[in-house]
Structure 1
Amino acid sequence: MEIKEDDVAFHDGVQPVYEPPAPDPSDLEAVLARDPDFLAALENDRFAQAIYAIFQNRTFIEDRSGRAWMCGDRQAAHLVADLRGRGESYHDYYLREFEGTWPDDEASEVISLLKSIACLQDPLSLPEVKFGVGTVVLPDGTSETIRDEAQAREVEARWHGQLAQFWQQCGHLRDEQISGFRDRVATIDRQPNRDVFDRLRAHLARLGWHTETNEDRNRARAAARQRGVEVLQVVKQREARPAGECPSWAKPILERRERQRDRGSFGLTRATALAGLDEDEREVERGWVPCRLDDLAVTGRIGEEEYTDLSGRLLDH
């Protein structure tokens, strides 16, 4: 751009040249960038939009090795713009909507819709509430100041009555939602853009890739749990060593732990995730193995090389 006193001139500049990642069968971008048929299909605008819609924030699995390749939101937009080779910006695709349901997602979406229908059809289950002295906001938006137990029981009755009344008044809205969900279930395989999704899915299958499924996630979790149990056995052995001073290389670990403690960091684990697991597997699922590994490092019971090795094994590196 050339700015003059009374004019502005725009000139074509040198367009950036996309350099694909080095050849790697476990890197989907590297595979796609070197496939002529896929690049030819990418000339179609709808196909390009479908790629962004499906690739954003999704994990892909290489069939042969089972290795995962993850793609973020902006990464997906960059991928489409780069592979098209037209000098486009990732903004040409980023956050653009594209209707339809990815074929591999149809089963889970149907399950979700059926659960929503069942929930809307169930009678209202009012939660048990007990009010004490203080101010309470009722479902209609009004507030009530409770001064004694008798008044609390009266307010509880009004609270339940208002909630039941609202549920009854919204019956027609629930019926409309249920009807819409049923229509979506009935037409799940006839959603917009199904043709272009099928073409994209066929290209991925030809190249030996698929989008991550629940089965893939379950396998990955089981494998990670097994790796964690193996590392835990080593950790238990090292914990028998006498504790010492924190070595210099472990000082950043100690500082990180202190920051986490000051922030009051904590994690939650669903009880269902622990069902049927033995004690070591529960330890892994709760995420305590890395903490015990950090303890070994800051107490000088393992060296930097072994810490790096065990941490990498937890992450399958």
Structure 2
Amino acid sequence: MLQHWWQVIIVSCLAVLAVAVVILARTTALPRTLSYSLVRQIVAAHTAWQTRNWQEIDSSHFRLRYRQEDAAIAPLVLATAEEAYGPVGAMLQHAPHGKTLIILYPDRESLARQFGWAASESAMGVYWGGVIRVLSPFDWVAGRDLKEIAHIFAVSGPVAHELTHLMVDEKARGNYPRWLTEGIAQYIEKELTGFTMPGSPDATGWYPLKAMDYGFDSLPDQALAYRQSFLMVAYLVEKWGLPALRQVLERLGRGAPLERAFQEVLGVSTVTFEEAFSREFPVSRFSQSL
């Protein structure tokens, strides 16, 4: 019992430290790459401790933890992650350090509870702090035929998307705007599975880049924000190539701000990039998925 309470105290202290590091990074000159590395390790350790009594299976690159009710589907989720690992890693030229922890939540309520969301939150997957969190396909795929579930989960599930977030996070060491990681995740997801998120048919203009970093989740038209993120990354890759995108991430990982990374790799400022994107992709034609 005493050991248990010491563990609770230690984990609580780690959580407080994580919050303190985030605040310090935003109010001082502490490098974003350094501060986020600390937060990432703390969050991963905290999540691993929270789920220490869950059932667990391993593969070459992942450790999956799940509840008993998902015992039948857990191997399928793990296999899907392994199938995505090689292609995502090849596109980003990155291999995660060690085994990535995946937490399989049995229902939306248990997933939402981890982030203080409403139980009605529709997210099927979340990447945060070195850990991939996935909603069990039993919760959102109709039927119980495992072959059918495997196909639907591979095409429409969140694994490739969230795995991309993890690799972007590691490659750029936490130093990237929100729109960039969301755009890359959607771009790679489409390349691998063909899946695209719905757009926003009623949009009248794109969001400014500055509004799509820390304020991304509070933008009133989320469908438009995600669509714009995808199209901006698609435009970058189309004009400068996938190697250029990787080089941008590498420079971000060395601590460069996005503006300098764009200037050094693409030869344009973020303002020029934004203006060119708006000309090439008028919102009236491209705001909704084709």
Asked if these proteins are the same fold (TM beyond 0.5), I'd say no
Which of these two proteins has the greater Rg computed from alpha carbons? 1
What TM-score, normalized by structure 2, do the two folds share? Answer: 0.19
